[in-house]
Amino acid sequence: PRVAARSALGDPALHALHSGGALLSVDARAALVRSVLAAPELLAASEAPLQPPRWLCNVATSAACAAAFPHTFAAVREWHSQRERLATWELEATVRRVQRILSAELPAGSFRIESRVKSVSSLFEKVWLRGKPANDLLALRIILADAPREAYAISPTDRPHRRCLEAREMLTRVWEETSFRDYIERPKPNGYASLHSLLRLGSGASLE
């Protein structure tokens, strides 16, 4: 599946909310949705004893988006539903290939892969509230485990940053990299540290 930018949703859908006679302004509703979307992360960071299940968070955020922007959220949900099945299939195939690529050069048990197809509410927040292209419908995360230096033939040192860069290089030998950000060398203000690479798959879809 090719990942579309905001304009692909169509201007009629994006502007339909203005005919709904909403009591709150667009900015106020956007602020409300952002607060709801941020709630699960805030709860997790607080280490509260009772954490809501992820499925419940997804239901709550979708409900908030649909209530605040019914017409626009419906358009985003339709866009997502038309691509979700094919996106899931492509992501699963890509994860299997990444597993083979890394297993050929990294020790067994030294990494794990997590993947996801972006949810409707997250897609809505990024595309409509922040006005950014939906180039991360497909995403996977590679987590490298600590290991003794002698276990790694690919690197003369065991510096985590270097090993992350080497893992990235394994993938860019297979797929074209269209964007790259190094948040390990320059962490975000909140302390987040990771490599972000945007790859173009053979189908033309983007993979973060």
Domains of the chain: 19-68 (no CATH), 82-207 (3.30.460.10)
Higher pLDDT, 79 or 1: 79
Residue among 138, 208, 197 at smallest CA distance from 166: 197
pLDDT reported for residue 123: 84
Averaged pLDDT, 172-194: 91
Pair of tokens at residue 113: 């892969």
Least confident of 9-18, 46-55, 146-155, 189-198: 9-18
pLDDT of residue 32: 58
- Give the model's pLDDT for residue 100: 97
Measured CA to CA, the distance from residue 41 to residue 64 in angstroms comes to 16
Q: What integer pLDDT is reported at residue 101 of this predicted model?
A: 96
Spatial contact of 127 and 6, defined as CB atoms under 8 Å apart: yes
Mean pLDDT, the chain, rounded, equals: 75
Q: In this prediction, what percent of the chain has a pLDDT beyond 70?
A: 66
Q: Average pLDDT, stretch 60-68?
A: 78
Q: What is the pLDDT of residue 54?
A: 65
Q: Among the ranges 42-51, 146-155, 195-204, which has the highest mean pLDDT value?
A: 195-204
Of 146, 151, 152, 125, the residue nearest 136 (C-alpha): 125
pLDDT for res 130: 74
Helix (H, G, I), strand (E, B) or coil at 103: helix
Burial tier of 138 (Cβ tally within 10 Å: 0-12, 13-18, 19+): buried
Q: Copy the structure tokens of residue 5.
A: 């930018």
Average pLDDT of the segment spanning 125-153: 75
Region for residue 199 given its phi and psi (left: phi exceeds 0; alpha: psi -120 to 50; beta: otherwise): beta
71 has a pLDDT exceeding 50: yes
